[in-house]
Structure 1
Amino acid sequence: MTEPGGTASFRLGYVPGVTPGKWARIWAERRPDVPLELLGATTDEVVRRIRDGAVDAGLVRLPIDRAGLHAIPLYTETTVAVVPKEHVLTAVDEAGLDDLADEIVLRPRDDTLPWPGDLPGRAAASEVTTTAGAIELVAAGVGLLVLPQSLARLHHRRDLAHRPVSDAPQSSVVLTWPDAENTELMEEFIGIVRGRTAHSSRTPRRRDDPPSGAPTPATRGRTRRRASRRR
């Protein structure tokens, strides 16, 4: 994407809990000439911005509407239950859905877990809008919350704890971008998230990079020194 004034940039949307910092650092090392702009939003907002051309790609949680989009899986998140620190679940290392049967389980509107049917446990008396609001209710003793571990860490509080729920649905994080011919910058970012090295054959080489195997000034100097010693 080119900003007003002609400066190229790459704009990446990402959802709460996803941490693109590692990939951003690698991008800065490989493409210091192209700013990487990070824009946080919900999954629906990131997908809409991709379709509108406001961002080049996004790190989002499934499910999404895949029409007109590429998507490659990156990782699957552990699902945890967030409870008050004095809750009985803190006595175990791992819980199951059966352990939640008698609990009030909150489900905020922005919940992204792919539940196949009804939530475990009992429903809350009123609807909760956001995950942040649900965390406040858990701290108040109103119920517990089941969500991806990255979101539990994002909303960490000293008076709360979380435990893995072994048989709960899990959230998958993907990289998504428009289903069209990839730009050089898009290929570069795909290579970064897939762990390709800077000189991978599938990573576009910048014009000022020497071709793979070509002598650099340092290697040419070592070659001349070895040749001199052999005379």
Structure 2
Amino acid sequence: MTETQGPASFRLAYVPGVTPAKWVRVWKERLPDVPLALIGVAAADGGQLLLDGGADAGLVRLPVDRTRLSAIPLYTETTVVVIPTDHPATAATEVAAAELSDLIVLHPLDDTLAWETRPGLPAIERPATTADAIELVAAGVGVLVVPQSLARLHHRKDLTYRPVPDAPQSQVALSWPEDRTTDLVEEFIGIVRGRTANSTRGRTPAATQPKQEQKQRKKQPKPQQKQGATTGKPRQGAAGKQAGGRKRSGSGTPATGRRGKPGRRS
């Protein structure tokens, strides 16, 4: 059920690796009177934050509790392996999971990939976070398999990454509590889905657009077909009609046209 009144501001949670900047920019253009607050949250805590009322909606990683949370999948990320820049695997354009079998593959506690069987050799201890795992990769302890956005987020000059096409992938979604679908949540859903401000499901209908924009629409010229219907035939046709009228009265006949038989006057 949609609530008729939303909060004075809109709180948007987002997990590491997700960049909400483009949607936030559209929000500020359409709803400048409604502040949007960004709340960073760990990937594992995004769903619970929404259920606890800590945010109105969130850009999270699936899966989430679909019995209580609504979710709209947005995109699926490429999975990559993070390696040192001098690692032999840098010679390849991509790396299969089986090629990691002889390497230590770090498995941080905040891992977002759902592996059935993890590749490679396990480390003695699991790093607490992806950031900690990145530090270990830079120290030469092992390699790390993560969504590409996390590899970019923790970019270092001494590290690079290569796609792992047969690894599990992470899917990012817009999620919110199903029983708290406010008008502002609907507005953000429209922005994420690319609806225009004039959409019938949007918050700003066409009737409430600025008067200046409506006046500009009225000033637009009518289609050429309608102009023809009101102004008559083209000038060339009108001129031809006038010329034809002169021929019928004789006033438009050239002077040489009546001097064809000079012998009769002699």
Same fold by TM-score greater than 0.5:
yes
- Aligned to 1:70, the other structure's residue is in SS state strand
Note the 1:202-217 alignment, pairs <5 A: 202-205=201-204, 209-210=208-209, 216-217=214-215
Aligned equivalent of 1:107? 107
Equivalent-residue separation in structure 1 for 2:58 and 2:70 (angstroms): 11
1:10 counterpart letter in structure 2: F
- Aligned to 1:186, the other structure's residue is in SS state helix
| Pairing 1:19–2:6 present | no
Q: How far does the alpha carbon of each residue in 1:17-62 deviate from its partner, in whole angstroms, 9 at most, with x for none? A: 0000000001111111101111001133322221121210010111
TM-score normalized by the length of structure 1: 0.88
- Aligned to 2:208, the other structure's residue is in SS state coil
Equivalent-residue separation in structure 2 for 1:189 and 1:149 (angstroms): 25
Aligned equivalent of 1:76? 76
Is the Cα contact below 8 Å between 2:198 and 2:205 reproduced in 1?
no
Aligned equivalent of 1:145? 144
Equivalent-residue separation in structure 1 for 2:198 and 2:205 (angstroms): 10
- Aligned to 1:108, the other structure's residue is in SS state coil
Aligned equivalent of 2:3? none
Q: How far does the alpha carbon of each residue in 1:157-189 deviate from its partner, in whole angstroms, 9 at most, with x for none? A: 000010000100000001100112622111110
- Aligned to 1:197, the other structure's residue is in SS state coil
1:111 counterpart letter in structure 2: D
Aligned equivalent of 1:192? 191
Residue correspondences, number: 217
Is the Cα contact below 8 Å between 1:97 and 1:120 reproduced in 2?
yes
Aligned equivalent of 1:158? 157
Equivalent-residue separation in structure 1 for 2:195 and 2:205 (angstroms): 15
Q: How far does the alpha carbon of each residue in 1:171-227 deviate from its partner, in whole angstroms, 9 at most, with x for none? A: 00011001126221111100011111111122222697239xxx812234557xxxx
- Aligned to 1:125, the other structure's residue is in SS state coil
Equivalent-residue separation in structure 2 for 1:181 and 1:50 (angstroms): 10
Q: Matched residues, percent identical?
A: 57
Q: How far does the alpha carbon of each residue in 1:46-87 deviate from its partner, in whole angstroms, 9 at most, with x for none? A: 222211212100101112222211011000000000001110
- Aligned to 1:81, the other structure's residue is in SS state strand
Unaligned runs of 5+ in 1: 3-7, 224-229
RMSD over equivalenced CA pairs, Å: 2.1
Greater percentage in helix: 2
Note the 1:7-86 alignment, pairs <5 A: 8-86=8-86
| Pairing 1:219–2:225 present | no
- Aligned to 1:180, the other structure's residue is in SS state helix
Is the Cα contact below 8 Å between 2:59 and 2:175 reproduced in 1?
yes
| Pairing 1:135–2:145 present | no
Greater C-alpha radius of gyration: 2
* CA distance 1:101–1:217, change in 2 (3 Å): same
1:219 counterpart letter in structure 2: R
Equivalent-residue separation in structure 1 for 2:58 and 2:218 (angstroms): 43
- Aligned to 1:23, the other structure's residue is in SS state helix
Equivalent-residue separation in structure 1 for 2:183 and 2:206 (angstroms): 12
Note the 1:169-180 alignment, pairs <5 A: 169-180=168-179
Unaligned runs of 5+ in 2: 1-5, 222-229, 232-266
